[in-house]
Amino acid sequence: MFNNIAQVPAYPFEPDERNTSKYFRVYNFEGNLPDQSDLLIPHRKENYLLVFVKRAGGIRHWIDTTAYILKDDTIYFTGPGQVVVKEEFKQVWSTGIAFTPEFLSVQENIAISSLPIIHNPANAHELILNEADVRVVEDLIAKINVEYQQPGEWQHRMFSAYLNTLLTYLSRLYTEQFNEKNFLTDKLLLKNFQGKVNEHFREVREVGDYAAMLNISPGHLSEVVKMQSGKPAIKHIHERLVLEARRLLFHTSNSLKEIGFDLGFSDASYFNRFFKRETGVTPAEYRAYIREMYH
């Protein structure tokens, strides 16, 4: 699973040559075998990916440092930048819908970009469906597949409308399964702050700098973040650094110095002290432990 690579590669979105859209794509697997080219290779996608797994036979995949045994009649979803490893190679029956951040920026898709399953506040990647949910999802995916086969001036709008309906339905299930029921002003501010941290954590470490990006005072940002999440704003910044460090320690063979430098630490010893303070173990100890557990 662990490849001797300089960094986790980011795979750009690849449009379907048979379709005119540059911003979304539909994949259908009916018992055929997925592409083997990225098997066992840790990589990032630059797009969102939603997959309805109809039948997968217990295939194991990784998202960041969590392993998922793919379940039948289940939704799996990832966002840009997350590390994925396809560990097994078996027949699969599934439909995948990929779309880019640019797709969400189009005026008629702005509503999609605000949905919980897109923001993913619970950092979840698996959505369990009951029989009624499966029927709804299969019906909407069938409609999406029909539109996908009809390129033309109305395709984008029809595809967006059906995808909006599907993601709205799944977002309702998401809030039920992960107890995220209220997305009010303060909750939105927390998510905007987390989004900025996700974009700039390598180079921006001060709460005041993030407050400036959000056009509010550092005090107000700190108060809202603590109230909504139970953690100080600075803790969110540190946890995002730790998450990325864990990803790189787990999925690459980079040296500790290289990983620290990639995360914005000019001094390897400072990175070592920071990681141990936040996790209780050194980066080397974490790498040895996690690889012994899952190798």
How high is the pLDDT of residue 184?
Answer: 60
Same domain, 159 and 269: no
How high is the pLDDT of residue 111?
Answer: 86
Query: Is residue 239 a part of any domain in this protein?
Result: yes
Same domain, 149 and 218: no
Query: Is residue 4 a part of any domain in this protein?
Result: no
Same domain, 41 and 140: yes
Same domain, 42 and 174: yes
Same domain, 195 and 277: yes
Same domain, 221 and 147: no
Same domain, 30 and 138: yes
How high is the pLDDT of residue 178?
Answer: 82
**Residue where one domain finishes, among candidates 155, 178, 201:** 178
Closest CA to 6 of 295, 261, 270: 261
Tally of structural domains, the chain: 2
Residue identified by tokens 């662990």 is 2
Q: For the chain, 295 residues long, give each residue's pLDDT as a single digit of tens.
A: 444 344 788 888 988 888 878 899 999 999 877 677 777 888 888 999 999 999 987 788 899 888 899 999 999 999 998 989 888 778 889 999 999 999 998 878 888 988 989 988 888 899 999 999 999 999 999 999 999 998 888 888 899 999 999 999 999 999 888 875 445 678 888 989 999 999 999 999 999 999 999 989 999 899 999 988 889 999 999 999 999 999 999 999 999 999 999 999 999 999 999 999 999 999 999 999 888 776 6
Query: Is residue 245 a part of any domain in this protein?
Result: yes
Q: 252 lies in which domain range?
A: 185-294
**Residue where one domain finishes, among candidates 148, 178, 208:** 178
- Can you give the CATH number for the domain in which 230 is found? 1.10.10.60
Same domain, 156 and 23: yes
Q: Are strands 126-128 and 60-63 parallel, antiparallel or unpaired?
A: unpaired
Helices 233-251 and 218-229 cross at an angle (nearest 10°) of 70
How high is the pLDDT of residue 2?
Answer: 42
Query: Is residue 3 a part of any domain in this protein?
Result: no
How high is the pLDDT of residue 6?
Answer: 45
Give the span between the Cα atoms of 176 and 151, in whole angstroms.
36
**Residue where one domain finishes, among candidates 125, 159, 178:** 178
Same domain, 224 and 108: no
Query: Is residue 5 a part of any domain in this protein?
Result: no
Same domain, 68 and 167: yes
How high is the pLDDT of residue 107?
Answer: 76
How high is the pLDDT of residue 213?
Answer: 94
- Can you give the CATH number for the domain in which 15 is found? 2.60.120.280
Closest CA to 69 of 43, 87, 95: 87
Query: Is residue 49 a part of any domain in this protein?
Result: yes
Tell me which H or E stretch contains 210.
helix 207-213
Same domain, 275 and 205: yes
Query: Is residue 1 a part of any domain in this protein?
Result: no
Same domain, 150 and 192: no
